[in-house]
Amino acid sequence: MRSPRAVVAQVLPLVGLAVLILGPMAVAMDRLWAVTGTSPLAAALDLSPSGLEALRTATGLASLAAVATVACGVPVAFALAAMDDPWRRRLRALIALPFVCPSIVAAVGFLALMDLTGDVGQTVRGWTAWPEAGPGSVVLLTAMVWFNLSLAVRVVEPTVSRADPRYLEQLRLLPEGQTMVGRLRAWWLPLLGPGLTAAAGLTFTFAFTSFALVRWLAPDALTIEVLLAEQGSGAGIPGYRVDLSRLVLGAAMAQATVLLLAVSLVNTMQRRHRFAMDAASSHRVRAGLSAGLWGQPMVRWTLAWGAACFAVVPLALVALSSFRVRTATGWRFSLDGWRRALEGDAGGITLMEAFWSTLQTASLTVAIAVPAGWYLATQVQHAEREGRVRLARGLDLLAMVPLVVSGAMVGLGTLLGLLRLAPGWLASPWLLPVAHATLVLPIVVRVLLPAMRRLKPEFEACAATLGIGPLRRFVLVRWPMLRPAAVVAAGLALAFSLGEFGASWILVRSTDASTLAVLVDAWLARPGFDPTTRPAAMAVAMVLGMVTMVLMLLLERWREDRVHGGL
């Protein structure tokens, strides 16, 4: 029986975390409810035509993105699995690059791609992928696939590269293994299906809540996230545009519902995606794969290199465009864009100010998210070990809540919540890191928890019997064994914060600070009569892209071994 003090010590931080995660949402919902006189449920069920259009467009585009990502990711993963190291490792790293790339940099990269490909780019720019999404939506869809391709590759490639081909050979001898459909049903689908569905679900979630990409690549497309971010700031004001408050309330509820379904699907599929077989040797796997289509070097090299180039080209073009300035008759190469970005032009924030502010925000995000995620994951693990299944599930669910609210919603919730409760905090340097940490918490927990589950309790028990106290047990046993996972979690939190756009875009408007991601947007949104305006945006985007890549590279080198988290 634990003492009441121990229970309070355990429960209080949890309540604090719960209030941090749910508090802003609750206050924002309550305010919108009070302003509109409509309950969230009623607002969601009675969405206006533009709200319904936003829901249809977001769902349609995200579904297309999920299907296209899986369709493109599977062949690339097979091609990679059939390749030898070190090229397999190098190409895989290149393909993974977009996933940590800030979304605004990706948007700028694809804009540059459209521009530099001339008439072809212009024609593609006019194509529509979804009836209500307008021109540019094919480019948007391509960018969404670009972003998430590594999700599908990461799920399929390790599985395929460890699956013993002898199972498949044996299956071919059986009646259901005679046909391609039969092999698909009896082997590939059970093997890859749950993982691919989870990857598709995650792609759907990211695409559904995408803001920067939609804002710049398909400007006529109205999705829920665009609606919340661009029009949400006018919501929650008594007696002013009440129709807008009602729309925002309903849209937020509809978004949470759709995301809840998607995240539940991902969770269910991740639980099923366990690789239960013994891993085969890589030589044997490649021998098996080379018997078929993947034995053709042309096919696998074209696919893998194609995917790697596809990953890198938009980023390279950002760099090129930052030096390209238009003239009355054409183009010239110049450093004027960089000069303007560095000087901050008149009245703006300089590149270096945003650089330091971004690094500060990202560091504080890591400082909040990793301990909070560590604590939450520890509590889940303790509850699991003690057999308290419902408590474990509840805590796990709490950690997942931010996944069903988007960046824009967290930004709006924090803004409306703080305006009501503590408006002075809006100028605090902790505002953005707390919002970022809330958003990245599910990812941190998802990385730490599996590593904690793998940790054998006997080690700590053994140390305890030797009379080693809790603090030294942590330093000597727990931390060294969990450090790789903590580094991965910190890296993901860092990358997330560096590139986070939706919440930052809403929240920095209450402060005198900015982040690089928001600064790129500010330059893009500025009237571009002056020809150095767009190159200045490209210059800031390039710095943001480089900072993210370099930090991820450093972390990758520092990490001692690979950790496979739940994501």
Partner 1 sequence: MRSVLVVLLLLCAGLSGCLGEDLLFTEDCSEFEATLREDDGVLRVLTYDIASLSESFLSEFTNETGIEVELIRADDAGSILEQVLLYGGAPQVDVALGLDGSYLPFAVNRCLIHLHGVDLTGLDGAVLEEGASLTDHGVPFDHGYICLNVDGAAVDAMPTSLWNLTEEEWTGKVAIPSPLSSSPGRAFFLATLQGLGDDAWTWWEAMLLNEPIITTGWSEAYEIHYSGGYGVWEEGHIGDAAATVSYCHSPGVEAYYSDNSTQSTAIALPGGVYHQIEYGAVLAGAANTTAAEAFLAHLVSPDANAQMPYENLMYSVLEGADLPETNGYRHHSLVPDDAVAALGGMDVETLDIMLATFSALLEA
Nearer to partner 1, 113 or 285 (CB): 113
Nearer to partner 1, 112 or 444 (CB): 112
Looking only at residues 22 through 51 of this chain, which bind partner 1 when binding is defined by CB under 8 A? Answer: 22-23, 26-27, 30-31, 34-35, 48-50
CA distance 354 to 350: 6
Beta-carbon contacts of 158 under 8 Å, excluding residues fewer than 6 positions away, are 275, 564
State how beta strands 324-326 and 331-333 pair. Answer: antiparallel
Nearer to partner 1, 34 or 464 (CB): 34
119 binds partner 1 (CB under 8 A): no
Beta-carbon contacts of 539 under 8 Å, excluding residues fewer than 6 positions away, are 322, 337, 338, 340, 341, 342, 351
Q: Binding partner 1 by CB under 8 A: which of 59, 70, 95, 125?
A: 125
Residue-level length of the chain: 567
CA distance 337 to 539: 7
Q: Binding partner 1 by CB under 8 A: which of 131, 238, 429, 470?
A: 238
Q: Binding partner 1 by CB under 8 A: which of 6, 11, 189, 550?
A: 11
What's the closest the beta carbon of residue 203 comes to partner 1, in angstroms? 23
CA distance 229 to 317: 28
Provide the token pair at 179: 């046909």
473 binds partner 1 (CB under 8 A): no
- Considering Cα of 122, then 126, then 127, then 133, what sign does the dihedral take? positive
8 A C-beta contact, residue 533 and residue 340:
yes
Nearer to partner 1, 387 or 424 (CB): 424
Nearer to partner 1, 75 or 348 (CB): 348
CA distance 51 to 247: 6
What's the closest the beta carbon of residue 256 comes to partner 1, in angstroms? 16
Provide the token pair at 279: 């891993």
8 A C-beta contact, residue 438 and residue 49:
no
Q: Binding partner 1 by CB under 8 A: which of 525, 550, 553, 554?
A: 525
Looking only at residues 360 through 379 of this chain, which bind partner 1 when binding is defined by CB under 8 A? Answer: none
- Determine the size of the site formed for partner 1 (CB under 8 A): 80
123 binds partner 1 (CB under 8 A): no
Distance of CA 126 to the CA centre of its chain: 28
Nearer to partner 1, 297 or 394 (CB): 394
CA distance 39 to 250: 9
Provide the token pair at 93: 């790293």
Closest by CA position to 229, among listed 23, 29, 513, 503: 503
Looking only at residues 286 through 345 of this chain, which bind partner 1 when binding is defined by CB under 8 A? Answer: 321, 326, 328, 344-345
Q: Please report, as a single letter, which amino acid is at residue 295.
A: G
111 binds partner 1 (CB under 8 A): yes
Q: Beta partners for 324?
A: 333
Please give the full DSSP string across 30-66, using - where no structure is assigned: HHHHHHH---HHHHHHT--HHHHHHHHHHHHHHHHHH
- The one segment of 89-97, 193-201, 204-212, 227-235 that binds partner 1 by CB under 8 A: 227-235
Looking only at residues 399 through 428 of this chain, which bind partner 1 when binding is defined by CB under 8 A? Answer: 415-417, 419-421, 423-424, 426-427
Looking only at residues 240 through 269 of this chain, which bind partner 1 when binding is defined by CB under 8 A? Answer: 240-241, 243-244
What's the closest the beta carbon of residue 258 comes to partner 1, in angstroms? 21
Nearer to partner 1, 210 or 510 (CB): 510
Q: How far is CA 129 from CA 27, 133, 201, 213, 358, in A?
A: 37, 7, 20, 15, 34
What's the closest the beta carbon of residue 66 comes to partner 1, in angstroms? 25
Nearer to partner 1, 288 or 545 (CB): 545
What's the closest the beta carbon of residue 372 comes to partner 1, in angstroms? 16
CA distance 443 to 426: 26
Looking only at residues 135 through 194 of this chain, which bind partner 1 when binding is defined by CB under 8 A? Answer: 135-136
What's the closest the beta carbon of residue 97 comes to partner 1, in angstroms? 21
- The one segment of 7-15, 150-158, 486-494, 553-561 that binds partner 1 by CB under 8 A: 7-15
Looking only at residues 505 through 524 of this chain, which bind partner 1 when binding is defined by CB under 8 A? Answer: 508-512, 514, 522
